[in-house]
Amino acid sequence: MSELTLFLIRVAFLAILWIFVLSAISVIRSDMFGARVPEAARGQGAGAPRPPKQPKPSKRRGSPTHVAVTQGSSAGATASLAQAPILIGRGTDAAIRLEDDYASTRHARIAASGDQWFVEDLGSTNGTYIGSVRITQPTTIAIGTQVRIGKTILELKK
Amino acid sequence: MTTSSTLMGFVHRRRRGAELFLLVLALAVGVGGYAAVGVGVEGKVPADIIGYGGWLAALIVAAHIVIRLVAPYADPVLLPLVATLNGLGLAVIHRIDLGYAARGRETSFAQQQLVWMTLGVVLFVAALVVLRDHRVLARFTYTIGFGAIILLMLPLLPFFEPINGARIWIQLGGLSFQPGEVAKVMLVVAFAGYLVLHRDALALAGRRLLFVDLPRGRDLGPILAMWLVSLGILVFQRDLGSSLLFFGLFLVMLYVATERPGWIVVGGTLFLGGALAAWKTLGHVQDRVDIWLHPFEYYRNAQPPFSDQIVEAQFGFGWGGLIGRGFGEGDPTRVTYAESDFIMAAIGEELGLTAVIAVLLCYGLIVERALRVALISRDSFGKLMATGLASIFAVQVFVVIGGVTRLIPLTGLTTPFLSYGGSSLVANWVIIALLLRISDQARRPVPDLSADEEESDDESTQVIKL
């Protein structure tokens, strides 16, 4: 095998290696911002699609100010969302203290991400439900979404 | 209000096509490397190239198809990066086999490595198929942690023999296995589970001393215990690399979980203290440091300690230069353990700085992807686990490549996916499976439960005729 062939093979192999690395980087680059959400899908989920130029009014219209217990033995208890993240449970450090035998000491947490509100189960024994679904990961909630913990139901309120 | 799928301003695409494209390139690196080794060393393309290439392609395609089926939203770059490193490693190990054969020593490291890779891919597939939700692991925090400690202690049992002075192997029916490699994955899971529960106590309680928030004494318990365990590994198993890896791993995870720089100060102090004490009292640590500082004084010494390995590696890097000698033109088998700890020296000698940088970039990208998984993950357990797995790669690559290039004292660890070594390869494939599982969960669009609230309520209150 001639010297030149070996040299070309070496350079070709290094080139393949670098083409791979650069392609991987370009895939990462195009992956950075995900896919653009199609217009149709954007309008579908939101009742009124948010006009990009004036985000404030829609935010104010939709933004809740506190969490309230609407059913259960601690009905009427509230906590302001200004203190988010809000801890819910039977423990003394909870912002909303539940007197519910089916609730855990530190049962769930309500927290914000952007202008969305999330409820996250903190590994409770009996679980946190939205509708009839037991949540397994932080889940978005809106005003009026009923979050059930044991025999208690909580809602976001304006 | 926007829909929850547009929560972060975008949805992730699946990108499985991009993954397939990168995998084809990865395969080209693996099979091309194998062919180039054959041409360079023996003057002809190896006869078994079809069988070898087919086997490698089958493994990679199988992993790809399983990802398509069970983790469609998983990160598209991780598997190709790993496949490339593994393929390149196989080619270089095959080269070293041929080098040993030329010296009259029959080895079949490349074949064994291919068998281990097959086992790794099988476990990778099994982990993805069995583990549909990584949070299940959080339930077994203490069980997994206990298992990890048992595995770490196992090689200390008297009927397992030390190899090269380190008691980190167990021998089962002719196969030797390093349980520490499996233990490191289990420790990450256990740490993540523990820290998710206790991070508030670790972060919030404590007093301020000299601009640094120090944690409370009772919260120091875990880190002190961890420090003792890693020192114990250092003393009883004489394994410098693993003790560095475990301690660094725990420190990174504590810092990430609590966001308190105080832990870095405490951990750094403990590390310096432990390192100084080890250097003062342990002979083999002292030797390592001396060899690192003055390698040429120990080169071809009459009696131990020797520095031939590290010095020959430096010669190799220097000889390789920018684009290397080319496969077959160098002499990587001068370096003892060129197929495992010192594989970077073999790459540097025959493929040069160009390939070394490409390999380092691949590791960098793996760590970047893992940290990105941690950033976009929605649950704290997944976040911590991904961070821990990323820091395992980062620390391990830094420690071993830093050691081979004489940036830091040499400690024995495997170069992930490149080095010959079954337990390490298998454990690393499982790490990638876990990362892909977390990233699949994180990139999947959020199930929107708030929108169809009314319908689901109606459904749940249906009147059933009795």
Q: Dig out the tokens for B198 from the structure.
A: 């206790």
A-contacting residues of B 25-44, CB under 8 Å? 25-26, 28-29, 32-33, 36, 39-40, 43
Whether pLDDT at B24 is above 90? yes
What integer pLDDT is reported at residue B86 of this predicted model? 95
For the record, the structure tokens of B163 come out as 């190899």
Residue A19 with chain B: CB contacts under 8 Å: 25
Contact A105, A125 (CB under 8 A): no
Shortest CA distance from B347: residue in chain A = A14
Question: In this structure, are strands A86-89 and A108-113 parallel, antiparallel, or unpaired?
Answer: antiparallel
- At residue B466, the pLDDT reads 52
Residue B461 has pLDDT above 60, yes or no: no
Per-residue DSSP letter, A35: B
| Gap between the Cα atoms of A22 and B24, Å rounded | 14
Q: What is the pLDDT of residue B456?
A: 46
> What pLDDT is attached to residue B2?
36
Question: Does the beta carbon of B377 lie under 8 angstroms from any beta carbon of chain A?
Answer: no
CA angle B111, B114, B118 (to 5 degrees): 145
Residue B332 pLDDT > 80: yes
Mean pLDDT, chain B, rounded, equals 84
| pLDDT tens track for B372-410 | 999 988 888 999 999 999 999 999 999 999 999 999 888
Rounded distance between C-alpha atoms, residue B116 and residue B109, angstroms: 10
Task: Give residue B208's pLDDT.
Answer: 64
More confident residue, A129 or B209: A129
Number of CB pairs, chain A paired with chain B, less than 8 A apart: 178
In chain A, which residue ranges form alpha helices assigned H by DSSP?
3-31, 39-45, 55-62
Q: Could A13 and B36 be called an inter-chain contact, meaning their C-beta atoms sit closer than 8 Å?
A: yes
For B144-163, write each residue's pLDDT tens digit: 888 888 888 888 877 777 77
- Which stretch of A21-30, A107-116, B343-352 has the lowest confidence by average pLDDT? A107-116
pTM for this predicted structure:
0.78
In A15-53, which positions are buried (b, 16+ CB within 10 angstroms) versus exposed (e)? ebbeebbebbeebbeebeebeebeeeebeebeeeebeee
Query: Which element (helix H / strand E) includes A141?
Result: strand A139-141
Q: Cβ B450–A145 below 8 Å, yes or no?
A: yes
B102-120 pLDDT, tens digit each: 888 888 899 999 999 999 9
> Which pLDDT belongs to residue B250?
83
Which pLDDT value is given to residue B448? 57
Integer Cα distance of B466 and B460 in angstroms? 16
What is the band of A57 on the pLDDT scale with cuts at 50, 70, 90? very low
CB contact under 8 A, A14 and B133: no
- Residues B147 and B267: their CA atoms lie apart, in Å, by 25
Average pLDDT, chain A: 77
pLDDT in tens, B271-315: 888 888 888 887 878 888 888 999 888 888 877 778 888 999 999
Residues B174-205 pLDDT 10s: 677 888 888 889 989 988 988 888 777 776 66
- Here the tokens at position B12 are 């992730």
Q: What is the DSSP string of B341-395?
A: TTHHHHHHHHTHHHHHHHHHHHHHHHHHHHHHHHHH-SSHHHHHHHHHHHHHHHH
Give the relative orientation of helices B78-102 and B343-350 as an angle to the nearest 10 degrees: 80
Q: What is the pLDDT of residue B206?
A: 63
pLDDT at site A58? 40
Strand extents, DSSP E, B84-228: 170-172, 175-177, 206-209, 212-215
Q: Identify all chain B residues contacting A116, using CB atoms and an 8 Å cutoff.
A: 1, 4, 7
Contact A19 B40 (CB under 8 A): no
Nearest residue to B72 via CA among B13, B122, B5: B13
Taking an 8 Å cut-off on Cβ atoms, the answer to whether B358 and A14 are in contact is: yes
Q: What are phi and psi of A89, to 5 degrees?
A: 170, -170
